[in-house]
Chains A and B, each alone.
Chain A
Amino acid sequence: MVETDINMRTELMESTQVQSVDRSDTKVADMKQQVNATIGEPFAKDPKMQARQVNVYYGNKQAIFNVSLDLGKNEVVALIGPSGCGKSTFLRCMNRMNDTIPICRVEGNITLDSEDIYADAMDPVLLRARVGMVFQKPNPFPKSIYDNVAYGARLHGLAFNKAELDEIVITSLQKAGLFDEVKDRLHEPGTGLSGGQQQRLCIARTIAVSPEVILMDEPASALDPIATAIIEELIDELRQNYTIAIVTHSMQQAARVSQRTAYFHLGKLVEIGETNQIFTNPKHELTENYITGRFG
């Protein structure tokens, strides 16, 4: 009797599977139509940057659809989603990096401390000093380690003499957790460092101009696990003083470093929520499919 019970249950299980396959097709179709509304709370209590109804077009092609999202003070927001979902495009809107692309058009409203960053009065160079960016591939200038970090400070006239500049370079390298490793070779080329060190050098260069927000576009995807762990530890420390948005393809990384996670799909912000909730109980089927490695 018990044997048959087990068989029965296995059948039951299989029939459940078949049912769910049928149901999923209709459900996903429904969901795709419903993506217009973001699930979760996109607004932060204490916002540093606010994006409202942002649409981005590359020529005739729309890359971002009506995305509203806050970056709160002292929080790390992770942007996740499949390739081409618009998460990097959205990140680049936050410090007007898309200005450099002639066919790119940004609609909507993005503010930094309630100041419209797309206003005519806003100087993009100054904006990018306040909203710094770290890229996927470490891109140190072909200069010495010292000059790499000093570059932005010189450009923006943040130091009045050599001693002040030294101070900025040293504290930036210290904050980026790189100083001890390079203190004896500050005048050697930055390109001679390892990948992980180069990435931390780029972070030091970003910090050197005292930004308020740091945008990171897959900062650790070219690094080994140890270098990645160091960068992640650094992100957690930087959070005390900065607002951070990070684009990552690593689910575990998003889960480890962020307080809130936003899931993008085909240019839309599908779901945003506390990272704990997103990774244990996402509300949207598309989010669930993505973070668990299912095809939707």
Chain B
Amino acid sequence: MDKDLHLAHHISRRFNAELEELRSDVLAMGGLVEKQLADGLVALTTSDTEIAEQVATSDYKVNSMEVAIDEKCNQILARRQPAASDLRLVVTIIKTITDLERIGDEAEKLGQLAVQITDANVSYSQFVEIRHLGDHVKSMLHDCLDAFARMDVADAMRTIEADKKINEEFESIMRQLITRMMEDPREIKNALRVSWCARALERIGDHSSNICEYIVYLVEGKNIRHISDVKLSQEMA
């Protein structure tokens, strides 16, 4: 850790408690989103419609957590007027929960697609690749949430790097699906469904990567979004 945030060092103990609560709320929300993703992947790869339905109908929990945390952030901004690292923490959390909520949406999509794919009785060799991609995305989200809990910039940077691999994997799955569609046009409908699954997973990677960028901002005060790799290595040097 490059810079300690000392969340519990405020003169106001109430403020310490509020910030701690906020941080553990985000981790709880992250845990829930992680579970949604894990269940979505299980549903997809085992054709378990019950779990699929459950994932598809549980997204409201993630949404209501987002609203609740958002509300707490607003209250802190209004009542405490945080500055410096406290301000960065609250801003980071506001942005992080948006990405977590979007990850929840993508997981929900996986659940819905799992129902459709199971109903259509598709059995694809692509599921091997999807499972592989899914495992990568799952561990990326896991690392991202760990980096958040630890406020660890090095971990966050490694996780951002991992997103590149996920993008490559996604491209390769897409190429295979396109080949399959060209070979047999009757497969297009199902191949598209599988591609949407891959797309959802790839998006989860992007959102995790965003969260890691917020962590860097939180700890270092540096904004590393939307910059080239060269500039990034200069910034972080």
Contacts and interface: CB of A to CB of B under 8 A. Distances in A.
A13 B23 contact: yes
Interface string A267-296: 000000000000111100001110111110
Interface stretch (A17-25, A127-135, A179-187, A191-199): A17-25
A3 B28 CA distance: 9
A101 interface: no
Interface residues of B, number: 36
Interface string B132-149: 000000000010011001
B10 A294 contact: yes
**Max count, chain B CB within 10 A of own CB: residue among A3, A27, A291, A292:** A292
Interface stretch (B85-93, B156-164, B173-181, B205-213): B85-93
Interface string B59-86: 0000000000000000000000111111
A14 to B, nearest CB: 10
Given A281-B88, A293-B12, A252 B34 contact: no
A6 interface: yes
Contacts of B1: 16, 19-20
Chain A contact residues: over half helix, strand or loop, or mixed?
A: helix
A280 B9 contact: no
B119 interface: no
Interface residues of A, number: 32
Given A280-B84, A288-B85, A2 B31 contact: yes
A2 B62 CA distance: 14
Contact of A17 (B8, B86, B88): B8
A139 interface: no
Interface string A1-34: 1110110011011001101110110010000000
Contacts of B221: 280-281
A114 B82 CA distance: 40
A251 interface: yes
Contacts of A255: 83
B7 interface: yes
Nearest to A251: B83
Contacts of B32: 2
A81 B83 CA distance: 15
Contacts, number: 88
B46 to A, nearest CB: 16
Given A3-B31, A17-B7, A24-B6, A292 B151 contact: no
A261 B91 CA distance: 22
Nearest to B32: A2
B212 to A, nearest CB: 15
Contacts of A19: 1
A283 B73 CA distance: 25
A13 B27 contact: yes
A281 B4 CA distance: 13
Nearest to A4: B31
A212 to B, nearest CB: 32
A292 B34 contact: no
B100 to A, nearest CB: 14
A281 B216 CA distance: 13
A279 B87 contact: yes
Nearest to B38: A2
A289 B9 contact: yes
B24 A2 contact: no
B189 interface: no
B5 interface: yes
Contacts of A281: 84, 88, 221
Interface in B2-33: 4-12, 15, 23-24, 27-28, 30-32
Contacts of B6: 20, 24, 289, 294
B31 A5 contact: yes
Nearest to A18: B8
Contact of A20 (B4, B83, B142): B4
Given A13-B27, A280-B221, 5 more contacts: A9-B27, A9-B146, A16-B151, A287-B84, A295-B10
24 contacts: A2-B31, A6-B27, A9-B31, A9-B149, A16-B151, A17-B7, A20-B6, A251-B81, A279-B84, A280-B83, A280-B84, A281-B88, A282-B84, A287-B84, A288-B84, A289-B9, A291-B84, A292-B10, A292-B86, A293-B10, A294-B6, A294-B9, A295-B10, A295-B11
Interface of B: 1, 4-12, 15, 23-24, 27-28, 30-32, 34-35, 38, 81-88, 142, 145-146, 149-151, 221
